[in-house]
Amino acid sequence: MRSAERDCAPQRKCGGLVSDTQPADRYLAIKVVMMPRDTNPHGTIFGGVILSYTDQAGAVGAHHEIRRAGWPHQTLVSVAMKSVEFHRPVFVGDTVSFWTRLVHVGRSSITMHVDVEADRYGEITHLTEAEVTYVAVDLSDGQRRTVPIRGSADPRPPATADTVTHP
């Protein structure tokens, strides 16, 4: 990487080049090329498609954070999606990146922030963002019951992105 690129802010266009460095707290969970089958009557990508990928990306990011923290693998289910904001339309042919960032870890839940961006001719366009919350569950015996996300009855208080320590 050229020194001019290293000095640029992450994912910003600098001197005609796009830097590929990312802040340590962002994780690229999914990258998808948008296809014609996903369009709405206006010719842009249907918002529900973006919401579906956002949910998937949040889950991938949550599992990434669980692994980084050294906690056991958990079955996660979506329980809430809030603060969804569609900033710009998404077009057929856009390569869309779904970046995740840890927001909060509770006793049995984990909340992820998902940023959705497209690289359009070397310019990063912020498309959508949302917060998605997942709960760790045990699905044995046909019952769905919440379990501690850290894998044990952990008496520690809920964690935020600032307080989670990774090995």
Asked if residue 146 belongs to a domain, the reply is: yes
Beta carbons within 10 angstroms of residue 80's beta carbon: 11
pTM tops 0.85: no
> Could you tell me the pLDDT band of residue 2, with boundaries at 50, 70 and 90?
very low
Q: How far apart are CA 105 and CA 89, in angstroms?
A: 31
Nearest to 87 by CA among 139, 43, 125: 125
Asked if residue 46 belongs to a domain, the reply is: yes
**Number of domains within the chain:** 1
Inter-residue contact 19 to 66 (CB < 8 Å): no
Asked if residue 9 belongs to a domain, the reply is: no
Backbone angles phi, psi at 53, to 5 degrees: -65, -35
pLDDT value of position 19 = 41
pLDDT tens digits, 53-67? 999 999 999 999 999
Q: How far apart are CA 21 and CA 111, in angstroms?
A: 24
pLDDT value of position 162 = 53
Asked if residue 6 belongs to a domain, the reply is: no
pLDDT value of position 143 = 86
Q: What is the CATH number of the domain that holds 49?
A: 3.10.129.10
